[in-house]
Amino acid sequence: MTTTALLLGTIAVLLAWPVPVFLARSRWPARSPGVALVLWQAIALSGGMSMIGSLLLYGLIPFGNALPQSLVALSVDLRAGTLPAGTSFTHVLALGAAILLVGHLMLNLLSTFVRAERQRRHHHTLIALLSDPLHGQPGMRVIDHPAPVAYCLPGAGNSATVLSNGLLRLLNADQVRAVIAHEQAHLTQQHHLVLLAFKSWHSALPWFPIANRAENAVALLVEMLADDRARRVVEDYTLARAIALVGFAQFGFSAPGGITTSSAAAESTTKADAAAHAAASASVGATPGHPADQVSPRVERLVNPTAPLPWTATAGALTVAVALLAGPAYILLGA
């Protein structure tokens, strides 16, 4: 199993640095963001699987020559409190690292999801109290604040798209329709779940340079996907102008204090405070927690549109994604 562990380790190294760096620097993802998003997810899953598999197989080398046999032998030896001959400190360390890495990633994903759900429920409560429905637009809420803010708030059966008065005053009717279509695309395509997974990966491995690069790249891709949905409603120039106006207007906006969490404070919280909290949430200008300069590439691809990837290139990229996912799994099962 030494060769198999080395092979998986090589795949993990390639997917940890050169491959994602090359993808992040490529220009073609702007042409077909959906395809690029599939590739990023395949890289993340395959890289994690390869890293864990490499550590596991190396640690199991003293226990047998095949993965099923080694797992059975490990279970027997653990119950007996013994270790086979030839077991070194590095084998034990690799096994421990594989187990700890799996546990760390899964617990971090769970905690990130629970924390996000708690924040969303709290935000839904505040928006219900401190916003007004937009006439003739079901699921639309308006907060009273001068900052141009637009964001979606997902939820089981009670999703909402929130706009500010500042945005409604800044944009014309077509631009507002573009913003609404963009934010509703985030809801229908469940982009928050994709972002949650990459946010969890980054928070679990903050020392891992590619995790931050992947999170930022994926955040830009989901914005482009939402833009593409909005392009079906309005012209490209209208959407580009809306993105630019909202995005760059936010740069110089100084928001008031954030929302407090106690029930008594919530009752006294003003709509301006709620909007300030919302300004830190997902917006048509830029994704929260990610660089505001994501506005520029989105505007650029709308002002100077390029054709999507041809079907041959799309098929090739999707084949690579499938191979990335199936390869490590096949190698592990065959070990």
Which tens digits make up the pLDDT trace of 136-161?
Answer: 788 899 999 999 999 999 987 789 99
How far apart are the C-alpha atoms of 61 and 70, rounded to whole Å? 8
Residue 236 confidence (pLDDT) = 97
The tokens describing 51, both together, are 């890293």
How far apart are the C-alpha atoms of 287 and 300, rounded to whole Å? 17
On the question of pLDDT at 250 being above 80, the answer is no
Residue 158 confidence (pLDDT) = 82
Sheet with 140-143, strands from edge to edge, namely 132-133, 140-143, 160-164, 150-153
How far apart are the C-alpha atoms of 333 and 275, rounded to whole Å? 52
Amino acid at 22: F
CB 130 within 8 A of CB 271: yes
On the question of pLDDT at 292 being above 60, the answer is no
How far apart are the C-alpha atoms of 99 and 95, rounded to whole Å? 6
Strand partners, 140: 161
On the question of pLDDT at 117 being above 60, the answer is yes
Residue 248 confidence (pLDDT) = 81
The tokens describing 226, both together, are 């939402």
Work out the mean pLDDT of the chain and round it to a whole number.
87
At 66-92, the pLDDT tens digits run: 899 999 999 999 899 888 988 999 999
How far apart are the C-alpha atoms of 261 and 97, rounded to whole Å? 38
Domain locations in the chain? Answer: 1-87+309-335, 121-304
90-104, 129-143, 241-255, 318-332: lowest mean pLDDT where? 241-255
Residue 156 confidence (pLDDT) = 77
On the question of pLDDT at 254 being above 70, the answer is no
How far apart are the C-alpha atoms of 331 and 311, rounded to whole Å? 30
Average pLDDT over residues 288-303: 78
On the question of pLDDT at 274 being above 60, the answer is no
The tokens describing 197, both together, are 């997974």
Going by pLDDT thresholds of 50, 70 and 90, the confidence category of residue 230 is very high
On the question of pLDDT at 194 being above 70, the answer is yes
How far apart are the C-alpha atoms of 90 and 75, rounded to whole Å? 19
On the question of pLDDT at 315 being above 80, the answer is yes
How far apart are the C-alpha atoms of 184 and 304, rounded to whole Å? 24
Residue 263 confidence (pLDDT) = 30
How far apart are the C-alpha atoms of 281 and 128, rounded to whole Å? 16
Alpha-carbon dihedral angle through residues 213, 219, 224, 230, given to the nearest 10 degrees: -170
Cα 95 to Cα 53, 56, 232, distances in angstroms: 10, 5, 52
Alpha helices in the chain (DSSP H): 2-16, 18-25, 33-59, 67-80, 89-130, 165-170, 173-188, 191-204, 209-230, 236-251, 263-268, 271-279, 295-303, 311-334
How far apart are the C-alpha atoms of 145 and 123, rounded to whole Å? 16
24-38, 121-135, 216-230: lowest mean pLDDT where? 121-135
The residue among 264 and 129 whose pLDDT is bigger is: 129
At 2-57, the pLDDT tens digits run: 899 999 999 999 999 999 999 999 999 999 999 999 999 999 999 999 999 999 99
Residue 282 confidence (pLDDT) = 39
Average pLDDT over residues 235-260: 71
On the question of pLDDT at 287 being above 70, the answer is no
Residue 208 confidence (pLDDT) = 82
Query: For residue 323, which phi and psi values (nearest 5 degrees)?
Result: -65, -40
On the question of pLDDT at 115 being above 70, the answer is yes
CB 283 within 8 A of CB 222: no
Cα 140 to Cα 134, 148, 273, distances in angstroms: 5, 15, 19
Sequence-distant (≥ 6) Cβ neighbours of residue 41 within 8 angstroms: 194, 197, 321
The residue among 176 and 263 whose pLDDT is bigger is: 176
Residue 285 confidence (pLDDT) = 54
Going by pLDDT thresholds of 50, 70 and 90, the confidence category of residue 212 is confident
Residue 207 confidence (pLDDT) = 83
* Alpha carbon distance, N-terminus to C-terminus of the chain: 6
How far apart are the C-alpha atoms of 221 and 215, rounded to whole Å? 10
